[in-house]
Structure 1
Amino acid sequence: MTEATTPNSQPSTGGENAPGHGHGGSRAALAVGAIGIVFGDIGTSPLYAFRETFAGGSNIAIDQLHVFGVVSLIFWSMVIVVALQYVTILMRADNKGQGGSLALVALLSRHMGKSRWGWLIVLLGVFATSLFYGDSMITPAISVLSAVEGLTVVNHTLDPMVIPIALVLLVILFVLQSRGTAKVGALFAPVMIVWFTTLAALGLNQIVQHPEILHALNPYYAVMFFVTDGFVAFLAMGAVVLAVTGSEALYSDMGHFGRGPMRLSWFGFVMPCLLLNYFGQGAMIASLSPEQAVEVVKSPFFLLASEEYRLPLVILATVATFIASQAVISGAFSITHQAMQLGFMPRLSIRHTSETEAGQIYIPVVNWALMIAVIILVLTFQSSSNLAGAYGIAVTGAVTIDTLLMGVLFVGVWKWKWWYAAPVVIFFLIIDGAYFAANLFKVPDGGWFPLVVGLIAFTLLTTWARGRKLMRERMHETALPIEIFAKSAKNSATRVPGTAIFMASQTAGVPSALLHNIKHNKVLHERVVILTVLIADAPYVDADERCEIHDLGDGFYRAVLHYGFMQETNVPQGLKQMERCGGEFDMMHTSFFLSRQTLLPSDKPGMPIWREKIFAWMLRNAATAMDFFRLPTNRVVELGSQVEI
């Protein structure tokens, strides 16, 4: 019953206070909140990123040249990919305050949707979104596993308990999702502030003892790493990129806090703490003999702490990874909701877990699917080092796609001259493309998993979008103009008291439910409203632009409710604003009529049979419009119809 369109939306001004931000509180308070919610993914990377570069099977010699080279590579990757590309540039590309691949695609489509390359822009954004689902499965598994594995540093006899403890924690994490994060969310920021402060203190302790590690700030060492090792250094990039995983999530979460507070928390606190820890790990390893370094590099993070502090550090790390996983799961809910609203996914049952925060939602199907996938990953890969092979390819794939979309943004929206835009885009494509290419070598070792998940998600999303488009076209072909219907029906049916609202997916023609009702029941209500819900390609539509009403005469009205793709489509609430539609709506005297389509095989199918079967399966299992539009359950009548695609 929804259609992604842009009837009244206007381009974002790009300002910090663009419509729809809804940010309350001071800049500092929002910056603190962002530390707890946004930076968990990238903030837990020190647990495994540096370790995997040396211990991940890349056969890099553990000496000063290579340690300095790796630390330098981590530093400049964080500066270029996270600080420059995402935090500085892409955070300017907000869609009325919202970020992320789908929000960026919606912004680009508003400006270039009718160009010959518009379809490619949409496909790129959908594929980046699809890759996110693979990332959202791997992140909880590798993060929690890497934290719990710290127990083996405290006591090596606890090794058999790592997987059972990790599985219990992960199951608890997913079970808690239905309760919402409002209550525990208040603890996120203090815990993550303690976590980042601990990262900085552990690293600074080693840097003070071995200040020569600061030479790694010079990109010369990163260059010499490649000059010395060539292809081996290139492969090492597949592990180095683990230090910047979560960069795409920063952009996606921009709408929660605004770019100003997020930049403040990143440059003022998070980035310095992360870099101090990476430099500290490098300082510790570089100061050891080759024999000692081989052993320490297997778990450098936990060995930064003295023995008496390692168990508290394991507990703190476990809580931090718990919070990081929570943010990724919430992100999966949010991006699924966006995909539904923009027409790439069927309606799913959504529960709102907060009475005050509209963005806090819970989608049971997504939650349990992620939980099953995470459990399978833990049982299959057994350790965070094995999972590291699967991690990174989804992130680098999404980052590379964002770079391509950034080029379209420069030329198509910001109107840069191509000779200004090209060098910038090429620079970032070389960096991001190199990371993606390095991760392709992980495919046999687990990198296939996020690619398979991404391919499945991409197939489902594009199949649904194509199927819905075909259905709308077929229904439009056979639709009877409402003006003709209203004139012919007013004298051919008995009028009964009350209001009938017929939900329609299009703003033209007569919905099949109305035709079936008059055909079988031979009655019309005193007031007949044909209602369409349209989803704009902007995140929010202002309340004064919500309603659109056309009086067709003889008690017939055509009404449209406009919502943004981040807003809840609560039809009864929206109807309260429609006073010009023949008076107020009394839910006790209003009936909602819905159409439920059944697909029939066509002589000339619009898409391959296997995709038609997938679409039919998705259509059968979609949540009802009654749940999605929050309609009163005792006031809904469903009438079936058949459609050929």
Structure 2
Amino acid sequence: MNAPATEMSGKQLSALSLAALGVVFGDIGTSPLYAMRECFHGEYGIAVTSANVLGVLSLIFWALLLIVSIKYLGFILRADNEGEGGVLALTALIKPKNLKRHTPQWVLVCIGLFAACLMYGDGMITPAISVLSAVEGVKNITPFFEPYIIPATILILSGLFLIQKKGTARVGRLFGPIMLLWFCMLAALGIAQIVSCPRILVAVFPWHGISFLLENRIHGFIVLGAVFLVVTGAEAIYADMGHFGKRPIQLVWFLIAFPALVLNYFGQGALLLVRPEEAYHPFYAMVPDWAMIPMVLLATMATIIASQAVITGSFSLTRQAIQLGYLPRLRITHTSSSHIGQIYVGPVNWALMLCTIGLVLGFQSSSKLAAAYGVAVSATMLITSTLFFVVASKRWGWSRLTAGLLAGLFFMVDLPFLGANMSKIFHGAWFALAIGGFFFLMMLTWEQGREILGNRMRSLTPKLEEFKEMLISTPPQRINGQAVFLTRGHDIVPAALMHNLKHNKILHSEVVFLNIRTEEIPRVPNFEKIEAEKLGAGLYRIIAHYGFMEEPKIDTIFALASSKGLNLDMKEASFFLGREKLSIGEHPEMWRWRSQLFLFLARNAMDAAAFFDIPSDQVIEVGVQLEL
């Protein structure tokens, strides 16, 4: 989708930048609806005094500058994995091919995986708080609408999740123009207030923020948790880099999003200096009465767009986790023929929908939801800084001192925000951590369970060389035809073949061992995807290499194998797949409850034939019994 910046025409850059504005900055762009309010009117709101307003604004300005402009756009975007971004892609950069458990690299990979899992919690809270905060604006039109805020929010969220299966390609074209209008309105509202109280501009000086923290001490530190709300969504900038490229994202941030956000926050500050009683909703207090209805509608559309970006991100994260072997195979539906990133994952969609609506019903207001928001994002940012240090020092060859100084600067910003957000644990922030912990446990259980089964399988079947010698010394009866066996490794014989040979006493004249590997890079070029080898005795081996952003399909593998000299007939080949019947032994290698979880995941996994698009009428399943 993204062309190199040097080859991009002005028209292409403009179109890509507009699209990036709609997707990448939706979350951070809707923070003005609730961030400033939470600093003065939330769970830990501080008194609306001139010094406090200037101090909070100073912290907001420098948070946007240091975290988004310098950390993410200046440095983190450089840590791309073949053009792809996101904490899972960053984790793949530091993961060695033969990763051993309980080593420093394994610990780092687990930390990165946990950060990725936290994104699911963020994906549930973001739609809830964003849409609810926008709909709450109807109270400013007339108190008559107040009883309908929760039902309207649930209706909007339900509709958003229900349309996911049909795809968002058509309405997605409107995302950019709507968000452009939204940012223009943010800037216009802010400028109108700043003109009436220009002294608010002195908040750009950092000493106002430092004085605020020194004077208010613990209370000021806790308010940092509300200040952090202005940068939630910054991690999406890195995660969506693969869709748009660095240049459009950087261009849109510095020309549109950053100025508009700063102007709006300073406008809210100027309003509070003049009318401190408006702290309960300073954003809508800036809106003239005649513009209230269209502004509520525009804010609602902007928050729906922000929610859509988070939902799509959860789908993409799930696909990456499946390809990397951290989740069982799930049905992935492509909802657009022209946009590769437009996918739908049913179980994830329904889980997000139920939890998001549950959050709205449980918390009842965006202010209470804000008390639960931020922990997952701040933890992800801290982990990103840690992984960046490893990439810079190990892969880029930076000196430990240089990488350490830069990472230390990031930590100086990340740690206080994480500490402030941890104070929200008992006010609902535990939810995002619990969701992240659940997915983390599920991913580790699935990966370890598959490793245990792989070891069991290797102990039951001979090596490929041993099998070849056996065929030569005691040849079985051969029948004409091609048989394809999917294998876990490139040097072992699948159990399905041994069971078929044992019970049917025959073997096809041409036997193909197909091993599909997921590499630690997003995509593998077609000319590097296939290794094809003739082993003799009618045996062939194909190793298919795919990136974690790709989906292996059997017809593509056959076509690429033919170009390597193997004459495979897709229509005539028989595919033998092992149907594993799993049980828990007397002394399982995992705790019994984790073994039960693995069995549940395995029973609900999509079968290999459907996942790899193997024609069902050409599939022969062979039962294999294994113990965990």
Q: TM-score range by the shorter chain?
A: over 0.9
- Counterpart for residue 251 of structure 1: 238
1:502-549 deviation per Cα after TM superposition (whole angstroms, max 9, x unaligned): 111111111011111122222222321110110000001000001111
- Counterpart for residue 197 of structure 2: 210
- Counterpart for residue 638 of structure 1: 621
Q: 1:303-342, aligned counterparts within 5 Å?
A: 303-342=285-324
Residue 602 of structure 1, CA deviation: 3.6
In the aligned structure 1, how far is the partner of 2:455 from the partner of 2:603?
Answer: 20
Counterpart amino acid of 1:32? L
Q: Report the secondary structure of 1:127's partner residue.
A: helix
CA gap of 1:311–1:603, structure 2 versus 1, over 3 A, is: same
Tell me whether 64-73 or 51-60 shows the greater mean CA deviation.
51-60
Tell me whether 548-557 or 109-118 shows the greater mean CA deviation.
109-118
Determine which of 45, 49, 62 is the counterpart of 2:35: 49
Task: Give me the TM-score of the superposition, normalised by structure 2.
Answer: 0.96
Q: 1:126-141, aligned counterparts within 5 Å?
A: 126-141=113-128
User: Do 1:109 and 1:122's aligned partners in 2 also have CA atoms closer than 8 Å?
Assistant: yes
- Counterpart for residue 223 of structure 1: 210
In the aligned structure 2, how far is the partner of 1:22 from the partner of 1:607?
Answer: 52
Residue 615 of structure 1, CA deviation: 1.0
Residue 182 of structure 1, CA deviation: 1.3
Determine which of 591, 610, 617 is the counterpart of 1:627: 610
Aligned-residue RMSD, C-alpha:
2.0
Determine which of 101, 121, 129 is the counterpart of 2:108: 121
Residue 48 of structure 1, CA deviation: 0.4
- Counterpart for residue 573 of structure 2: 590
Tell me whether 477-486 or 616-625 shows the greater mean CA deviation.
477-486
Tell me whether 307-316 or 615-624 shows the greater mean CA deviation.
615-624
Residue 643 of structure 1, CA deviation: 2.1
- Counterpart for residue 63 of structure 2: 77
In the aligned structure 1, how far is the partner of 2:52 from the partner of 2:291?
Answer: 29
Counterpart amino acid of 1:308? W
Determine which of 130, 135, 149 is the counterpart of 1:148: 135
Determine which of 169, 184, 194 is the counterpart of 2:181: 194
Determine if the alignment matches structure 1 residue 273 to structure 2 residue 273. Answer: no
Determine if the alignment matches structure 1 residue 159 to structure 2 residue 142. Answer: no
- Counterpart for residue 451 of structure 1: 433
Residue 604 of structure 1, CA deviation: 4.4
1:170-225 deviation per Cα after TM superposition (whole angstroms, max 9, x unaligned): 01000110011211111111111111111111111111121111000001110111
In the aligned structure 2, how far is the partner of 1:484 from the partner of 1:402?
Answer: 46
Counterpart amino acid of 2:18? V
Task: Give me the TM-score of the superposition, normalised by structure 1.
Answer: 0.93
Q: Report the secondary structure of 1:207's partner residue.
A: helix
In the aligned structure 1, how far is the partner of 2:444 from the partner of 2:8?
Answer: 32
User: Do 1:576 and 1:584's aligned partners in 2 also have CA atoms closer than 8 Å?
Assistant: no
Counterpart amino acid of 1:172? G
Q: Report the secondary structure of 2:545's partner residue.
A: strand
Q: Report the secondary structure of 1:416's partner residue.
A: coil
Determine which of 332, 336, 345 is the counterpart of 1:354: 336
- Counterpart for residue 446 of structure 2: 464
CA gap of 1:158–1:49, structure 2 versus 1, over 3 A, is: same
CA gap of 1:404–1:23, structure 2 versus 1, over 3 A, is: farther
In the aligned structure 1, how far is the partner of 2:353 from the partner of 2:152?
Answer: 15
Residue 113 of structure 1, CA deviation: 5.4
1:23-65 deviation per Cα after TM superposition (whole angstroms, max 9, x unaligned): 9972232212100111101011000000111111324110111
Q: Report the secondary structure of 1:348's partner residue.
A: coil
In the aligned structure 2, how far is the partner of 1:480 from the partner of 1:57?
Answer: 64
- Counterpart for residue 498 of structure 2: 515
1:454-498 deviation per Cα after TM superposition (whole angstroms, max 9, x unaligned): 111111011111111222222223331223323434764333333
Determine if the alignment matches structure 1 residue 388 to structure 2 residue 370. Answer: yes
User: Do 1:44 and 1:321's aligned partners in 2 also have CA atoms closer than 8 Å?
Assistant: yes
CA gap of 1:498–1:24, structure 2 versus 1, over 3 A, is: farther
In the aligned structure 1, how far is the partner of 2:242 from the partner of 2:491?
Answer: 34
CA gap of 1:629–1:502, structure 2 versus 1, over 3 A, is: same
Residue 599 of structure 1, CA deviation: 2.5
In the aligned structure 2, how far is the partner of 1:554 from the partner of 1:354?
Answer: 45
- Counterpart for residue 241 of structure 1: 228
Q: Which has the higher contact order (CA 8 A, sep 6+)?
A: 1
- Counterpart for residue 106 of structure 1: 92
In the aligned structure 2, how far is the partner of 1:544 from the partner of 1:587?
Answer: 20
Q: Report the secondary structure of 1:149's partner residue.
A: helix
Determine if the alignment matches structure 1 residue 552 to structure 2 residue 539. Answer: no
CA gap of 1:29–1:112, structure 2 versus 1, over 3 A, is: farther
In the aligned structure 2, how far is the partner of 1:16 from the partner of 1:412?
Answer: 28
Determine which of 577, 582, 590 is the counterpart of 1:607: 590
1:71-100 deviation per Cα after TM superposition (whole angstroms, max 9, x unaligned): 111000011111111111100000000111
Q: Report the secondary structure of 2:507's partner residue.
A: strand
Q: Report the secondary structure of 2:562's partner residue.
A: coil
Q: Report the secondary structure of 1:576's partner residue.
A: helix
1:578-617 deviation per Cα after TM superposition (whole angstroms, max 9, x unaligned): 1167644333211211112223334543221111111111
- Counterpart for residue 435 of structure 1: 417
CA gap of 1:471–1:516, structure 2 versus 1, over 3 A, is: same
Tell me whether 71-80 or 354-363 shows the greater mean CA deviation.
354-363
Determine if the alignment matches structure 1 residue 39 to structure 2 residue 21. Answer: no
Determine which of 274, 282, 290 is the counterpart of 1:300: 282
In the aligned structure 2, how far is the partner of 1:300 from the partner of 1:394?
Answer: 26
In the aligned structure 1, how far is the partner of 2:536 from the partner of 2:115?
Answer: 47
Count residues in correspondence: 624
Residue 369 of structure 1, CA deviation: 0.6
- Counterpart for residue 351 of structure 2: 369
Tell me whether 172-181 or 570-579 shows the greater mean CA deviation.
570-579
- Counterpart for residue 546 of structure 2: 563
Tell me whether 128-137 or 599-608 shows the greater mean CA deviation.
599-608
Residue 355 of structure 1, CA deviation: 1.8
Q: Report the secondary structure of 1:346's partner residue.
A: coil
In the aligned structure 2, how far is the partner of 1:158 from the partner of 1:329?
Answer: 28
Q: Report the secondary structure of 2:578's partner residue.
A: strand
Residue 110 of structure 1, CA deviation: 4.3
CA gap of 1:111–1:534, structure 2 versus 1, over 3 A, is: closer
Tell me whether 593-602 or 382-391 shows the greater mean CA deviation.
593-602
In the aligned structure 2, how far is the partner of 1:421 from the partner of 1:463?
Answer: 34
Gaps of 5+ in 2: none
In the aligned structure 1, how far is the partner of 2:525 from the partner of 2:11?
Answer: 21
In the aligned structure 1, how far is the partner of 2:283 from the partner of 2:14?
Answer: 30
User: Do 2:28 and 2:231's aligned partners in 1 also have CA atoms closer than 8 Å?
Assistant: yes
In the aligned structure 2, how far is the partner of 1:398 from the partner of 1:634?
Answer: 46
In the aligned structure 1, how far is the partner of 2:572 from the partner of 2:323?
Answer: 29
- Counterpart for residue 96 of structure 1: 82
- Counterpart for residue 175 of structure 1: 162
User: Do 1:303 and 1:310's aligned partners in 2 also have CA atoms closer than 8 Å?
Assistant: no
- Counterpart for residue 5 of structure 1: none
In the aligned structure 2, how far is the partner of 1:89 from the partner of 1:620?
Answer: 43
Counterpart amino acid of 1:523? I
Counterpart amino acid of 1:471? L
- Counterpart for residue 4 of structure 1: none
User: Do 1:549 and 1:580's aligned partners in 2 also have CA atoms closer than 8 Å?
Assistant: no
In the aligned structure 1, how far is the partner of 2:145 from the partner of 2:341?
Answer: 40
In the aligned structure 2, how far is the partner of 1:571 from the partner of 1:24?
Answer: 39
Q: Report the secondary structure of 1:565's partner residue.
A: coil
